[in-house]
Structure 1
Amino acid sequence: MELTAVAQLRRMVLEHLSRYTWNDVLIDHVYDILQEVQDDTPRYRCCVYKERAVLKNRIDMALGQECKENIIEASKKTMHEPERKDLPLIDVLPAACDQCPIDAYYVTDVCRHCIAHKCMNNCPKKAISLVQDRAFIDRNKCIECGKCKQVCPYGAIIEIHRPCVRACALGAISIGSDRKAVIDHEKCVACGACRNACPFGAIDERSNIVRVITAIKDNRHVVALVAPSIVGQYGLKITMGQIYSALKKAGFADVVEVGIGADITAVKEAKEYIEKVPAEQKFMTSSCCPAFVKLVKTQIPQAAAYVSETDSPMISTGRYVKSRKPSAITVFIGPCIAKKNEAREHSDVIDYVLTFEELQCMLEGRDIRFADQPVGAYEREASKLGLGFPLTAGVTAAVNDTVAALGGNVRLAHYASGLDNCKKSVEDAAAGKLDCSYLEGMACPNGCLDGPGTVGDFRVTKVALNRYAEAAPNQQTTDGDHVK
């Protein structure tokens, strides 16, 4: 992921919160962040008071609280009260939203004040006139049909959309009467695209980083469930052994590869496919991406029955760990924000979710760096197919091979990434316009390797994960059952 000033600010807040929590001084020192993260000279906003207001919003979000909270009170609640699951994971920081211009069509300086006046002649509402020899759009009359843009011979009229609105493929973001962004949380699938798109960092996610550290410091049996896409996130030279060592040094009682859960998911989903397709339904979709699943169930209800009922790898791994130690605190570590919503829905098996970005900040808060850890041996627990889930059509490959191993056949598979592509593919499949018997959907355009919570370039992580998976055994292990 590109390291922008927005990302740097977010990470600085998370790192400071982590350091104070590790040192047992969070409540006493949380206000110091206002001085430590930003200096007395405004760098991004109109004045230092505005910057402090925005920074308080960021701290509240990082603490998992409401943006209106006093940050000391927010710290106390985070340290001593359960997670506020009634609060949305993705939210607009009220002090940060810059109230971007929302006029859809704008006449630029390229306008040559020609005499043909095609923009005026083609406007159905007569919203365009000449003012000082230049076209002018009357916002009270304009219906944003776009005809003026289409006919201008100089291309002098441009269409403008807010970055957050443009990034949301599901139309979950609108502009309120105060010209600030508003998220429709019924439509939102927590994919994180808007968060990454906003150039002012006015949209952020809530975090449980403080609660995870607190659980470790309370000597709870905290288990890290590590997604396969962690390989290569922190650099090609960082080995899985070093990642394992860093997590153990931070206080995690155990580290479990979610590739194990992927193996379990592949076997169960393959059996479900053999049972249902085509006997009960014409096709089946994957279920491992929570943003994709919510998209189908909320916006394509006619296709909801086609979604696999098999648990995702995260949930399967959580069940695997909890079955062996019910008191364990399970912390999924991955590239995805939407997994936080999925964890809320399965709180019996997943306690917390951290992104790769949050993990990095959590470790840096204790001065633990992956590169400093010994390059010890690390035994892969998952199969090549399970570790390959985050790769392009990785779920499809695993289900395909497993169905074949069980004596079945996936007649025709289809892969879609990006919510717009996913939506069209599922709609077409449900309507009979797309011939497929298995459809894998991933919300992120480049799949899990390029999720909103990543810290590495997805091209680098793809190379690293491919190498790592190639060295793993082909055999899948699922609670003692083997599929060869």
Structure 2
Amino acid sequence: MELTAVAQLRRMVLEHLSRYTWNDSLIDHVYDILQEVRDDTPRYRCCVYKERAVLKNRIDMALGQECKENIIEASKKTLFEPERKDLPIIDVLPAACDQCPIDAYYVTDICRHCIAHKCMNNCPKKAISLVQNRAFIDRDKCIECGRCKQVCPYGAIIEIHRPCVRACGVGAISIGDDRKAKIDYDKCVTCGACRNACPFGAIDERSNIVRVIKAIKSGKQVVALVAPSIVGQYGLKITMGQIYAAMKKGGFAEIIEVGLGADITSVKEAREYIEKVPKEMGFMTSSCCPAFVKLVKRHVPEAADHVSETDSPMMSTVRYVRNHFPNAVLVFVGPCIAKKNEVREHSDLIEYAMTFEELQCMLEGKDIKFADMDPYEFEREASRLGLGYPLTAGVTAAVKDTVAALGGEVSQAVYASGLEGCFKTVKAAKDGRLDCSYIEGMACPNGCIDGPGTVGDFHITKVALTKYANAAPNQEALDKKHTR
């Protein structure tokens, strides 16, 4: 993940909130963040007051509260009241969203005020005229058909979409009358693409970082369920032993590899595939990516019954861990924002989800650095296939191998990533335009190793995770006795 100024601001807020929570001084010092996470002059906004308003929005989001809250009151609610599960995970920061243009078509300085006037002649609404020898678009008449852009011989008319609108593969973002972005939560799948796309950081995610720290400080048994894509997130030289050591020092009682749950998922999904395809359906899709599952159910509902009913690796791990730690507070740690919604849907079994970014900020708030840790010795339980889930077509590889081990065969598997790619693939399969028997769908363009909650470059993660997975003691999911 590219370390932009937006990411730096978000991480500074999370780290400061963590530090004050660790020190039992959040309520007394939360207002100090307004001075600590900025310079004495405005850096990104028109004035210091605007910058402070935006920063308050960021703090409210990091506390998991509404953006309109006073940050002291928000701190009290986060520390002493239950999580507001009625609030969306992804939201627009009202003070931050005001810099993008609304109009889709613009006449640039490239306009040569030619005498052919093709833009004017081809406009069906006569919305273009000449003003001071230059084409001018009347916004009240323009219907944004794009004809002017198509016919201009100089390419002087350009089309502009807001980055958040362009990034959303399901059309969940529009622009309101107040010029601010609006999210249609009936369409949104919480993939986080809009958050990463906004160059002003005007879309963010709500966090439970303070609640996780509070649970640890209260002496509760807090168990971390760590996604395989954590390998390489904090640098190639940082070993899994060091990551585990840092998390242990940070107060996690136990750390469980979600690759273990991926093995369980592989076996159950393989059995489901053998049972259903082609006897009951022509194709089946994966179920491990919650954003992909929501995409199918909301945007290709006619294919909803083709989604595997097998638990995601996270939920397979949760059910496995609950048998061993029935009273623990469970925290999923991964690259995915959509997992926060999945946790809400299963709040009777798991309490919180954190991103790799939040984990790093939480530990740095306690002055814990991965590079300073002596490696922690742990038993590796997940197989090569389970650990490889976040890699390109990693789920497909695991399911195909496991189906073969059970005596079956996946005749034609298709990998789809990115929301638009997933939509087109599933739609084509359902309409009979794509010959396949299994579809692996990942909402993020490069899969889980490049999720919105990552902190490392996905190329590095790919290399590190591939090496780590190949060195696993167990190579196949069926090697694990608890998956049989």
Question: What is the letter of the counterpart of residue 279 of structure 2?
Answer: A
Q: Give the drift of 1:377.
A: 3.7
Q: Give the drift of 1:375.
A: 2.8
Query: In the alignment, is residue 44 of structure 1 matched against residue 44 of structure 2?
Result: yes
Question: What is the letter of the counterpart of residue 125 of structure 1?
Answer: K
Equivalent position of 2:264 in the other structure: 264
Query: 1:58-97 residue pairs with structure 2 within 5 A?
Result: 58-97=58-97
Equivalent position of 2:449 in the other structure: 449
Question: What is the letter of the counterpart of residue 481 of structure 2?
Answer: G
Query: In the alignment, is residue 8 of structure 1 matched against residue 16 of structure 2?
Result: no
Equivalent position of 1:474 in the other structure: 475
Secondary structure at the aligned position of 1:382 is classed as coil
Question: What is the letter of the counterpart of residue 476 of structure 1?
Answer: A
Q: Give the drift of 1:98.
A: 1.6
Q: Give the drift of 1:480.
A: 3.1
Distance 1:69 1:342 in 2: 26
Q: Give the drift of 1:186.
A: 1.0
Question: What is the letter of the counterpart of residue 467 of structure 2?
Answer: R
Question: What is the letter of the counterpart of residue 149 of structure 2?
Answer: K
Q: Is the 8 A contact 1:475 1:482 kept in 2?
A: no
Q: Is the 8 A contact 1:260 1:478 kept in 2?
A: no
Question: What is the letter of the counterpart of residue 292 of structure 1?
Answer: F
Distance 2:408 2:238 in 1: 39
Query: 1:203-352 residue pairs with structure 2 within 5 A?
Result: 203-352=203-352
Deviations 1:278-308 (A, max 9, x none): 1111100000000000000011110000000
Distance 2:357 2:141 in 1: 46
Question: What is the letter of the counterpart of residue 8 of structure 2?
Answer: Q
Question: What is the letter of the counterpart of residue 475 of structure 1?
Answer: E
Distance 1:319 1:477 in 2: 18
Equivalent position of 1:151 in the other structure: 151
Q: Give the drift of 1:475.
A: 3.5
Distance 2:480 2:217 in 1: 31
Q: Give the drift of 1:478.
A: 8.3
Query: In the alignment, is residue 160 of structure 1 matched against residue 160 of structure 2?
Result: yes
Equivalent position of 2:429 in the other structure: 429
Secondary structure at the aligned position of 1:136 is classed as strand
When the two structures are superposed, what TM-score results if normalisation uses the length of structure 2?
0.99
Deviations 1:436-484 (A, max 9, x none): 000000000000000000000000000000000000121326873456x
Deviations 1:27-63 (A, max 9, x none): 1111110111113311111111111111100000000
Query: 1:380-391 residue pairs with structure 2 within 5 A?
Result: 380-391=380-391
Question: What is the letter of the counterpart of residue 414 of structure 1?
Answer: V
Q: Give the drift of 1:237.
A: 0.6
Q: Is the 8 A contact 1:99 1:181 kept in 2?
A: no
Q: Is the 8 A contact 2:402 2:476 kept in 1?
A: no
Distance 1:293 1:99 in 2: 33
Q: Give the drift of 1:378.
A: 3.5
Q: Give the drift of 1:99.
A: 4.4
Q: Which ranges in structure 1 are unaligned for 5 or more consecutive residues? A: none
Question: What is the letter of the counterpart of residue 41 of structure 2?
Answer: T
Q: Is the 8 A contact 2:387 2:469 kept in 1?
A: yes
Change in Cα spacing, 1:248 to 1:129, as seen in structure 2 (3 Å) is same
Query: What is the percentage of aligned positions where both structures have the same residue?
Result: 80
When the two structures are superposed, what TM-score results if normalisation uses the length of structure 1?
0.99
Distance 1:189 1:287 in 2: 14
Query: 1:126-137 residue pairs with structure 2 within 5 A?
Result: 126-137=126-137
Q: Is the 8 A contact 1:330 1:352 kept in 2?
A: yes
Equivalent position of 2:353 in the other structure: 353
Secondary structure at the aligned position of 2:427 is classed as helix
Secondary structure at the aligned position of 2:125 is classed as coil
Q: Is the 8 A contact 2:267 2:483 kept in 1?
A: no
Secondary structure at the aligned position of 2:439 is classed as strand
Secondary structure at the aligned position of 1:324 is classed as coil
Give the number of aligned pairs: 483
Equivalent position of 2:408 in the other structure: 408
